[in-house]
Amino acid sequence: MKSYQYLLIIVLSAFVIILVVFHFGDIPNRHNNGFVRNYFPSAISKVQEAGFQDVLYDIVGSTARCIYVTTATPGEILEVSRNQHDGTKRIKIPFFARFYDSLQLGSLAVKIDSPYVYLFAENKPAIAKTTFDSTLFEVRILPPGPFTREAMVSNDCFILRKIEPRLTDQVFVRYDLNTGLLKKEDGISQIYGDGGVVSDGQLHFDAATGKLYYIYFYKNSILSFDTSLHFLARYSSIDTTSSFHISTAIVNNSGTAAYTNVTPANMINRVNDVHNGLLFNMSTLKADNETDDFFSDHSILDIIDLKNGRYLGSIYFPAPNGSKPSKIMIAENKLIALYTHSLIIYDLHLHPDRQDQ
């Protein structure tokens, strides 16, 4: 009987601890987050929606005619026409099997700048360049150290976020596909020595400004630097999370040691894109002037002027069945939102001087 009593006491104690942590803990959106949003009126309207049986993974390219989307099937791309009457074309990446098998890869990131297709073997590390008509296939093996983020500056120049073994962290590098030259940054990244886990984020190149932007996942920081890897500026997204609320440690798995987070990873900046000097950022944090229902029923993008870091306003659109996009892309004055089984395209009608107050 005593053993059952001890067990009951332990269960009740654990329950009480959970309640205390939930009540007093720093849980996002259970309290005011210290900022408000202004909304652009009539800024967005849906123009196209396409549903799929496939599990959609990433938006990897866009032209005036179509959008390229990868699926959960390795080596397969969907070419989604912007003309709804033309439907969708299923494409196999040229030479994918040969490259995938010969280098014994577990996964590849893909980018398309038609007619070129780029395969990023992040763990190898290597980059392959091919074409839709299979007339080209080039492979470049990079110096040791995997990379986790890639941005294409031109057909043969890439900015990568790559492991620097000496620092046990990730730094930005520029890699030239033609010459094989790799240049490392000097003083852009903060070094934490955890393999880049804490400082993880999204890397974008904006052709309009010729600059690169790195948006942290776990705090409100935005880095700006040029293609020569010269630091330019540091901005903030509109929320007030100015420090990392995440801890990391080394974990051994099947004899392989790797850094991972050992506390809940409260992502602040979820998905984003840059276009024509503007950042479109989806925060996970509710503004003080938003209700719980409004925030859960809509996807909200905060728009920041990347010339000076000024917040211009926000746009919102429905969250179908409570789902928010896993990826977004801004192209040809349109917002492309990717979901698990669908792609939705919106027209953008932005007037920065006409915000709702």
Structure tokens at 314: 């926000």
Secondary structure (3-state) at 224: strand
- Tens of pLDDT, residue by residue, the chain (357 residues): 555 555 555 555 545 444 444 444 455 667 788 899 999 988 999 999 999 999 999 999 999 999 999 999 888 999 999 988 888 999 998 877 766 666 655 567 999 998 999 999 998 899 999 999 989 889 999 999 999 999 999 989 999 999 999 999 999 999 999 999 999 998 999 998 888 888 999 999 999 999 999 999 998 899 999 999 999 999 999 977 755 555 544 555 555 555 554 455 578 899 999 999 999 999 999 999 999 999 999 999 999 999 999 999 999 999 998 899 999 999 989 999 999 999 999 999 986 554 444
Can you tell me the distance from the alpha carbon of 201 to that of 151, in angstroms, rounded to the nearest whole number? 13
Neighbours of 334 (CB within 10 A): 18
Residue pair 188/172 in contact (Cβ under 8 Å)? The answer is: yes
* CATH, domain range 54-141: 2.40.10
Tokens for 123, please give them. Answer: 């763990």
Rounded to 5°, angle at Cα 328 from 274 and 355: 65
Please report the pLDDT score of residue 44 as a whole number: 95
Q: Residue 8: what pLDDT?
A: 56
* Coil vs helix vs strand at 29: coil
The angle formed by the CA atoms of residues 277, 281 and 282, to the nearest 5 degrees, is 165
From the CB of residue 292, how many other CB atoms can be counted at a distance below 10 Å?
10
What's the confidence (pLDDT) of residue 197? Answer: 86
Nearest to 137 by CA among 128, 146, 125: 128
The Cα–Cα gap between 182 and 125 comes to: 13
